[in-house]
A and B are shown apart, each in its own frame.
Chain A
Amino acid sequence: MLESNKDSAKLDAMKRIVGMIAKGKNASELFPAVVKNVASKNIEIKKLVYVYLVRYAEEQQDLALLSISTFQRALKDPNQLIRASALRVLSSIRVPIIVPIMMLAIKEASADLSPYVRKNAAHAIQKLYSLDPDQKEMLIEVIEKLLKDKSTLVAGSVVMAFEEVCPDRIDLIHKNYRKLCNLLVDVEEWGQVVIIHMLTRYARTQFVSPWKEDDGLEDNEKNFYESDDEQKEKTDQKKKPYTMDPDHRLLIRNTKPLLQSRNAAVVMAVAQLYWHISPKSEAGIISKSLVRLLRSNREVQYIVLQNIATMSIQRKGLFEPYLKSFYVRSTDPTMIKTLKLEILTNLANEANISTLLREFQTYVKSQDKQFAAATIQTIGRCATNISEVTDTCLNGLVCLLSNRDEIVVAESVVVIKKLLQMQPVQHGEIIKHMAKLLDSITVPVARASILWLIGENCERVPVIAPDVLRKMAKSFTNEDDLVKLQILNLAAKLYLTNSKQTKLLTQYILNLGKYDQNYDIRDRTRFIRQLIVPNEKSGALSKYAKKIFLAQKPAPLLESPFKDRDHFQLGTLSHTLNTKATGYLELSNWPEVAPDPSVRDVEVVELAKELIPAGKAKKENPAKKFYSESEEEEESSDSSSDSESESGSESGEEGDSSEDSSEDSSSEQDSESGSESKGENKRTAKRNSKIKEESDSEDGEKENEKSKTSNSSNAESSSIEESSSDSESESESESEIESESRKVTKEREKKTKQDRNPLAKDISLLDLDDFNPVSTPVALPTPALSPSLIADLEGLNLSTSSSVISVSTPVFVPMKTHVLLHRMSGKGLAAHYFFPRQPCIFGDKMVSVQITLNNTTDQKIANIHIGEKKLPIGMQIHVFNPIESLEPEGSITVSMGIDFCDSTQTASFQLCTKDDCFNVNIQPPVGELLLPVAMSEKDFKKEQACLSALHLLSKPRNANRNE
C-alpha cells in the first residue's frame, strides 16, 4: 500500500505501521518503503513517517541517511513549524554520521527568528550531547548564546540543556541570573520546575547563608541594627551584619507566586527552594501550599508526604497547624497511611499528644493489619519521645495484648519490650502478663521479645522465669531460630542467677542446641556452655559470665526512617529513594564568603543609577523592564504594595501630617524656600508634593517646565529624602529600597515619555500609542489595567514598558472596625463598618466602606435599608441594596461607596429597618481617603518642587506616599 499513488492508501498503511510500533512489534523490514514517503506532501503521512524514522533509524543507519537531505531542505522552509519539526526529527535520528550536520543545524536554529525554533534547538542540544559527548565545547557555546535569549519560550528548554550538558558551568548563569528570575513567572510550568531547581543550586553557591544568625529576626530589618559581635566575625570583611544579597531576595520574592501554581511539581520545586535557600523565618509559607497538594492524586500525595516527613523532623512548627490534615482515612492506600502516620509522629508534642493517641486508638482497630502494626510502632515512638505519656502508652499497649489479632499483639510485645528496656523501673506485672502470652502467641519476633524480657528481668520474676524455661525446653525443637537463640540466652541467664532450679533444664537445652541444624545456634550453644558451665578448663572469663550476660543494656533508639534523608535535596528522585540517583547533583553548602555579586550585573541602560540612594539598590533594575511586560506590570503592583505595607504601619502619623498639609498651605512655600533646615516642615512638604501628584499628571504639559525646576532642587531634596527615611526606619526594609529603585526607573521612563510626548509621537523607544490610555488616568482604580491593552503588551514581550504612576492596592488592611450603630441603641440591630481600602466598585471617587450588620435580637429584622441622607454639599453615597430580612443571630456584610469629597466631613444617614430608623454617622480618618500610588523618589521630588508653583490643590484626595 505504501507504493500506492493515493494518499489515503498510504496513510492507512502508515497508521497500521504505527499501530504495530505502539504494540511493540518489529516493523523494521518496512524501512525502505517508508523512507521513500518522507517527502510526502501530506502532512499526516509525513508526521507518521517521522514517527517511524525516529523509532528505527538507529537500527537502519544507512537507509536513514536517504532522508537527511529532505530535512536539510525543510530546515530552510519559511514556515517555522516545518523548520522546527525538521530540526526535531533530524536531531532525534540517532545516527552518529550526521553529527556535523546536526551541529550545523543547531547553530543555525539557535539564531532563528522564531522562538519556537530556538526552543527546539535547545532540545536538540541535549540529543546531540547524548549522541556524541565530544561536541560538548561547541554545544556549550550554543547554550551560552541561548541562555541570553529573552523569550520565555526558550528559557525552560535551554536551562534543561544546561543541566544536562554542563551543570558545573555555573559561570554561564551569572549574567542571566536576574533575567531568569524575572522571567520565571511567565515561563511554561515544566520550564519553571527545571529553572527553579537550577537556581536553587546556583543560590547555594553564590550567596551566603541566611540561616546562621538569629533566625527569628526578620532579616530585612537587620540592616538597621548595629552589628552584633558574633555577626561581625562571620561577615568580617563587610563589617556589618548579614544582609541578604538583593539578588538572593529577588529569587525568593519572584518564586513566591508560583506556590499558587496548579502544577504540583512547580509547587514542590518552590517549596524546596524556600526550604533550602530562604531565611528560616520565611519558609513558613510553603506549608499551606504543600498541604493543599495532599488533595491531589495518590502518587502526588506519596511524594509530597515524603517530603513533608523530612521537613517535619527538622522543623515541627511548620506543619503543626495542619495536624488534622494528616489524619488517616480508611480509604487511603497503605503507603499513604504509613507516611501520614510518620508525619503525625514527628509532629507529636506534649500539647497534642492526647488527641493524637485517641486518633491512634482508632487506627489500631483498622482492618488493614499492616497499618495497625505500624500504628503500634508509632505509639511506641511517641511514648519514648514524650515522657509524660509513656505510662499511658504502655498501659494502652498492654491492653492491646489481649487483642484478638495476632499481628497486633506481636507488634505490641515488640514495642513494649523496647519501652520497658528504656525504663528500668519495676514492671513485674506486665512481664508476668506477657509470660502468659507465650502460650498463645506464635509470631517468632514476639516470642523472642518476651523471652528476652524475662531473661533480662529474671530476678524480678523469680517464680515464673524457671517455669517459662521449662515450657520452652519442651517446645525447643519446634521453635523458630530467632526464638531458639533467645531460649539459650534465657537459660544462660537463669543458670547464672538461679542455678539451683534450672541447672538441669539448662543442660538439657544446651544439649538440644548442640545438635541443632542451624550453625548459629550450635555456635551460641558452644559459647554459652564454655562460659557458664564450670569445668576444669574454664578460663578466666567464666568468672565474669554474670557481668557479661546481665550487663545493663543501652535502650534502643526509636528513630524516624526519614531522619537521614535531609542531606538530599528535597523534591528529588534521590530523596524519594533515599539513595543517590544517577545524575544527582549535590547541593553545595553555603559559601563562607559570598562570591563577587557584581558578576551578575548586566550593562544595560544605567539611566537611574545616580539616583539610587546609598548604593544599596539593585543596579539591574533599569534593565528589568525590557524583558517581560507582564512581569513588569506585576512588579509595579508589587513594588507599590511594598511601600503600602509600610504606610499601613505608620498610617497614624501620616494621617496627621497630611491633615496639616491640606489646611496649611503656607508650609508649601516653606518647602520650597527653606526645606533643608526645618525638619518638621520637610515631612509636610513631602506629603504635599505627593498629593499634588495627581493634579500634575492631569496637566502633563506643564510638567516639562516644572521638571527642570525639580532637577535643580534635586540635591537638597535628596537629603530630605534620607533624613526622613531614617526617621521612619522602623518598618523600612531592603525590599522597599529595591522597590523604590524600581519606581525610580519607572518614573524615569515616564519622564522621558512626558518629555517627548508633545514633541514626537513616533519615537522608537516606546510604543506611545500603547501608553497614552494607560498613563493618563492616574486616579482611576480599575481601568488602570485596561485588559486588552495588557494583552497587547504581553504580546510585545520584549521591548515595551509602561510608565504609569500605578494605583496600587494595599497589602496591609487594618481589620479595625468602627461602631456604626450600637446594638443597645439600635434595638438589637448592631452595625460596624470598616474600610477595606479597595477601589470602590461604585465609582472611582468613592471610598468603599464595608458594613457588617448583626441581628442580636431573637426575631427577624426585616427590610434593612438606608433611609434619609444628610450629606454636606457634594458628598454622595452609593447605598447597598435593601436587605430583606436578617435572621436572629445572623450577620451580613454589605459594601457601600461614599464620596467624601476628600474631606473628613461626616456622612450622616439613616439606617432603617421595617419599624425603626436610626441616625448614624461615618467620619473617615484621613488615611482612608488617600489612594496609594507608587512613584519614584525622583518623581516625587519633582512633584515636590512643583508644589510651590501651584497654590491650589485641585484634588488633595489622591495623595500618595513614597517613604
Chain B
Amino acid sequence: MIHSLFLINSSGDIFLEKHWKSVVSRSVCDYFFEAQERATEAENVPPVIPTPHHYLLSVYRHKIFFVAVIQTEVPPLFVIEFLHRVVDTFQDYFGVCSEPVIKDNVVVVYEVLEEMLDNGFPLATESNILKELIKPPTILRTVVNTITGSTNVGDQLPTGQLSVVPWRRTGVKYTNNEAYFDVIEEIDAIIDKSGSTITAEIQGVIDSCVKLTGMPDLTLSFMNPRLLDDVSFHPCVRFKRWESERILSFIPPDGNFRLLSYHVSAQNLVAIPVYVKHNISFRDSSSLGRFEITVGPKQTMGKTIEGVIVTSQMPKGVLNMSLTPSQGTHTFDPVTKMLSWDVGKINPQKLPSLKGTVSLQAGASKPDENPTINLQFKIQQLAISGLKVNRLDMYGEKYKPFKGIKYMTKAGKFQVRT
C-alpha cells in the first residue's frame, strides 16, 4: 500500500522522509514539484499525480505537503484519509503541526509513523493507543528523560489493541470525573446580491472531552433527534441503538474526540443570523471606487453575535483601499488583495460599518465583478438548528460524573455575493 512518505514544506524542501518498504528515491518528488509549479497555488495541486512507476497522493495541511508514494492500485481515499489521520495525530501529539515542530520531534514522529503503518498498511491509528505506545513529549518528561535516561516508549502492549473496545485504554483513573460535550453547528450559506439565501445548510458536530474513571458506558439522548438527517459516528457509537431508538450509546474513548457529526435535514429552514448590507461600486471614469459594508444581526434568538470577521478577496485591479471602520480593525494586503476586517461583537443599537474609497490601478478598466464577502462569526449558547440534548446517563460505573454541555453556532462557509 503506502510505500513512502515525504514531507515537503512550502518552499519545496523535503524535510522528512520515511519508507515502509524498500527505499524510494527522493527524485520521485520531482514530478510533484512539476505539478506544483503548474498549479501556481498550493491548493490547486492535484491530490493524485501519476508518474511512470509510482503514484503520488498528497494532502496539503498546515502549509506542509504530505506526499505518499504508492505503487499499486489502492482506493485513493484510503491513502488520503490516512494522511489526514497522520496530521491529526501530529497535532494531537505536539499541539501544532508545523515544520519546526516536526523537525524538533523527529524521533517521536518517526516512532509514531512506525507504529501507524506496517508494510504500508495502517496498524494503530487511534490516538489513545498510540499515546500508550509512545508517550507524547511534555516538558516535564523531557527533563526527566534527560536525567534518568528513561524513555518515552511504552513497553506494554496497549490493552485496547486487543479488546473489542480498541479506542479506550483500561485502567483510566481520574479524581474529578467529568464529561463535557460541545454541540457546535456551522452554517454554510450562499447569500446572493439582494440578500436572499441561495443555499443554506447546517452541519454540526459534537466534540467531547470525557475524563471518566474505568469503563463507563454513556447514553446521550436528544430532545429532537428527528432534526438529524445524516450522521456519522465515532466508531464507539452503537449504530443499531441509534437506528432503533435514536439514542447515542457508547463507551467513550479517553480524552478529546469527535463523537458525532451531523447534517440537519434540508427541509428545515435555516435561520440566517446575520445580514450584510453592501455598496461596492467601481466607476469606469475615475480610478476611485466606493466601498461600504454594514453588518447587522438578523435571527439570533436574542443572543449576541461575536467574533465577526469579514474577509474579501478584492479584484486584481485594486491598488489600495482607504477605509474607516466604525468598530474593530481592518487590514488590506496590497499584494494578495485581501481585505480583512475584524469586527468583534455586533451591537444591535450601533451597527458596525466599514466605509471608504478604493483606489484602482490607473488606466485599467474597472473590474467586472464585485468581490464576494466571506463572513465568520460565533454565537455562544445557541444551536441554530434547535437541537437540544435531553439527558446523559452513565452505566457501568458507580460514581457520579460531572456533566456539562455547551452549544455554539459558527459560520462555516458563509458567503455573500455582491
A197 to B77 CA separation, bound complex (whole angstroms):
13
Task: Determine whether the beta carbon of B153 is less than 8 Å from that of A288.
Answer: no
For the complex, is A90 an interface residue (Cβ under 8 Å from B)? no
Task: Determine whether the beta carbon of B261 is less than 8 Å from that of A262.
Answer: yes
Chain B, residues 234-272, CB within 8 Å of chain A (1/0): the string is: 110011110111100101000000100101001000000
Within 8 A of A (CB), among B361-375: 365, 367-369, 371-372, 374
Who on chain B is nearest to A295 by CB? B203
The stretch among A42-50, A240-248, A466-474 that forms the contact with chain B is A42-50
A152 to B229 CA separation, bound complex (whole angstroms):
30
Residues in A with CB closer than 8 Å to B341 are none
The stretch among A379-387, A431-439, A525-533, A632-640 that forms the contact with chain B is A632-640
Task: Determine whether the beta carbon of A7 is less than 8 Å from that of B374.
Answer: no
How distant is A956 from chain B, measured CB to nearest CB, in Å?
24
Who on chain B is nearest to A47 by CB? B153
A224 to B141 CA separation, bound complex (whole angstroms):
69
How distant is A790 from chain B, measured CB to nearest CB, in Å?
7
A268 to B77 CA separation, bound complex (whole angstroms):
8
Task: Determine whether the beta carbon of A331 is less than 8 Å from that of B110.
Answer: no
Task: Determine whether the beta carbon of B395 is less than 8 Å from that of A583.
Answer: no
Task: Determine whether the beta carbon of A123 is less than 8 Å from that of B121.
Answer: yes
A81 to B82 CA separation, bound complex (whole angstroms):
24
Task: Determine whether the beta carbon of A22 is less than 8 Å from that of B18.
Answer: yes
Task: Determine whether the beta carbon of B107 is less than 8 Å from that of A787.
Answer: no
Task: Determine whether the beta carbon of A11 is less than 8 Å from that of B16.
Answer: no
Task: Determine whether the beta carbon of B119 is less than 8 Å from that of A262.
Answer: no
For the complex, is A581 an interface residue (Cβ under 8 Å from B)? yes
A371 to B11 CA separation, bound complex (whole angstroms):
27
Residues in A with CB closer than 8 Å to B107 are 15, 18-19, 48
Chain A, residues 541-582, CB within 8 Å of chain B (1/0): the string is: 000000000000000000000000000000111101101011
Residues in A with CB closer than 8 Å to B109 are 22
Bin the interface of chain B by size: 35 or more
Task: Determine whether the beta carbon of B198 is less than 8 Å from that of A327.
Answer: yes
For the complex, is B33 an interface residue (Cβ under 8 Å from A)? no
Residues in B with CB closer than 8 Å to A795 are 163-165
For the complex, is A797 an interface residue (Cβ under 8 Å from B)? yes
Task: Determine whether the beta carbon of A300 is less than 8 Å from that of B77.
Answer: yes
Which of A120, A299, A333, A809 contacts B245, CB < 8 Å?
Answer: A809
For the complex, is A665 an interface residue (Cβ under 8 Å from B)? no
Residues in A with CB closer than 8 Å to B153 are 43-44, 47
How distant is B38 from chain A, measured CB to nearest CB, in Å?
12
The stretch among A181-189, A213-221, A607-615 that forms the contact with chain B is A181-189
Which of A88, A298, A893 contacts B43, CB < 8 Å?
Answer: A298
A309 to B17 CA separation, bound complex (whole angstroms):
35
Task: Determine whether the beta carbon of A583 is less than 8 Å from that of B72.
Answer: yes
Residues in A with CB closer than 8 Å to B417 are 362
A663 to B192 CA separation, bound complex (whole angstroms):
65
Residues in A with CB closer than 8 Å to B346 are none
Within 8 A of A (CB), among B18-50: 18-19, 21-23, 26, 41, 43-44, 46-48, 50
Which of A8, A116, A300, A893 contacts B80, CB < 8 Å?
Answer: A300
Known: A292-B230, A299-B59, A577-B48. A572 touches B106 (CB 8 A): no
A572 to B55 CA separation, bound complex (whole angstroms):
13
Task: Determine whether the beta carbon of A44 is less than 8 Å from that of B151.
Answer: yes
Task: Determine whether the beta carbon of A152 is less than 8 Å from that of B121.
Answer: no
Which of B26, B149, B217, B230 contacts A289, CB < 8 Å?
Answer: B230
For the complex, is A30 an interface residue (Cβ under 8 Å from B)? no
Task: Determine whether the beta carbon of B26 is less than 8 Å from that of A571.
Answer: no
Residues in A with CB closer than 8 Å to B258 are 262
Known: A260-B231, A327-B199. A797 touches B164 (CB 8 A): yes
Task: Determine whether the beta carbon of A637 is less than 8 Å from that of B16.
Answer: no
Task: Determine whether the beta carbon of B235 is less than 8 Å from that of A261.
Answer: yes
Task: Determine whether the beta carbon of B21 is less than 8 Å from that of A130.
Answer: yes
Which of B23, B188, B395 contacts A55, CB < 8 Å?
Answer: B23
Residues in A with CB closer than 8 Å to B395 are 786-788
Chain B contact residues: over half helix, strand or loop, or mixed?
Answer: mixed
Which of B118, B166, B217, B368 contacts A790, CB < 8 Å?
Answer: B217
Task: Determine whether the beta carbon of A330 is less than 8 Å from that of B313.
Answer: yes
For the complex, is A903 an interface residue (Cβ under 8 Å from B)? no
Which of B76, B114, B119 contacts A126, CB < 8 Å?
Answer: B119
Known: A123-B118, A123-B121, A261-B232. A791 touches B165 (CB 8 A): yes
Residues in A with CB closer than 8 Å to B43 are 298, 333
Who on chain A is nearest to B258 by CB? A262
Residues in B with CB closer than 8 Å to A43 are 151, 153, 155
Which of B82, B119, B125, B162 contacts A127, CB < 8 Å?
Answer: B119
Who on chain B is nearest to A581 by CB? B73
Task: Determine whether the beta carbon of A55 is less than 8 Å from that of B19.
Answer: yes
A220 to B41 CA separation, bound complex (whole angstroms):
52
Task: Determine whether the beta carbon of B118 is less than 8 Å from that of A88.
Answer: yes
A197 to B75 CA separation, bound complex (whole angstroms):
9
Known: A24-B14, A42-B151, A404-B368. A579 touches B50 (CB 8 A): yes
Which of B16, B123, B246, B365 contacts A23, CB < 8 Å?
Answer: B16
Who on chain A is nearest to B72 by CB? A583
Residues in A with CB closer than 8 Å to B82 are 190, 265
For the complex, is A157 an interface residue (Cβ under 8 Å from B)? yes
Residues in B with CB closer than 8 Å to A55 are 19, 23
For the complex, is A264 an interface residue (Cβ under 8 Å from B)? yes
Within 8 A of B (CB), among A219-269: 257, 260-265, 267-269
Task: Determine whether the beta carbon of B106 is less than 8 Å from that of A22.
Answer: yes
Chain A, residues 153-182, CB within 8 Å of chain B (1/0): the string is: 100010010000000000000000000000
A526 to B156 CA separation, bound complex (whole angstroms):
84
Task: Determine whether the beta carbon of A573 is less than 8 Å from that of B16.
Answer: no
Residues in B with CB closer than 8 Å to A130 are 21
Residues in B with CB closer than 8 Å to A264 are 77, 80-81
Task: Determine whether the beta carbon of A257 is less than 8 Å from that of B240.
Answer: yes
Known: A126-B119, A787-B395. A573 touches B190 (CB 8 A): no
For the complex, is A405 an interface residue (Cβ under 8 Å from B)? yes
Task: Determine whether the beta carbon of A23 is less than 8 Å from that of B73.
Answer: no
How distant is B358 from chain A, measured CB to nearest CB, in Å?
15
Chain B, residues 210-245, CB within 8 Å of chain A (1/0): the string is: 000001010101011000011111110011110111
Task: Determine whether the beta carbon of B166 is less than 8 Å from that of A791.
Answer: no
Known: A367-B316, A571-B77, A641-B243. A288 touches B365 (CB 8 A): no
Residues in B with CB closer than 8 Å to A324 are 198-199, 201
Who on chain A is nearest to B118 by CB? A123
How distant is A710 from chain B, measured CB to nearest CB, in Å?
29
Residues in A with CB closer than 8 Å to B391 are 841
Who on chain B is nearest to A292 by CB? B230
For the complex, is A303 an interface residue (Cβ under 8 Å from B)? yes
A275 to B365 CA separation, bound complex (whole angstroms):
51
For the complex, is B152 an interface residue (Cβ under 8 Å from A)? yes
Task: Determine whether the beta carbon of A186 is less than 8 Å from that of B369.
Answer: no
How distant is A316 from chain B, measured CB to nearest CB, in Å?
18
Residues in A with CB closer than 8 Å to B217 are 787-788, 790-791
Task: Determine whether the beta carbon of B369 is less than 8 Å from that of A366.
Answer: yes
Task: Determine whether the beta carbon of A582 is less than 8 Å from that of B73.
Answer: yes
Residues in B with CB closer than 8 Å to A188 are 122, 125, 166
Known: A18-B107, A367-B369, A582-B71. A573 touches B76 (CB 8 A): yes
How distant is B316 from chain A, measured CB to nearest CB, in Å?
7
Known: A367-B369, A893-B224. A22 touches B313 (CB 8 A): no
Task: Determine whether the beta carbon of B162 is less than 8 Å from that of A116.
Answer: yes
Residues in B with CB closer than 8 Å to A362 are 192, 417
Residues in B with CB closer than 8 Å to A263 are 81
A-B contact pairs, 16 of them (CB 8 A): A19-B106, A55-B19, A123-B118, A160-B1, A298-B47, A300-B81, A324-B199, A324-B201, A572-B74, A576-B48, A634-B240, A637-B243, A641-B243, A788-B396, A795-B165, A838-B245
Beyond A299-B47, A302-B46, A331-B374, 5 extra complex contacts between A and B, CB < 8 Å: A153-B162, A261-B232, A269-B75, A289-B232, A794-B165
Closest A-B pairs by Cβ, 9 of them: A787-B217, A44-B151, A583-B72, A8-B149, A788-B396, A81-B157, A794-B164, A299-B47, A365-B369
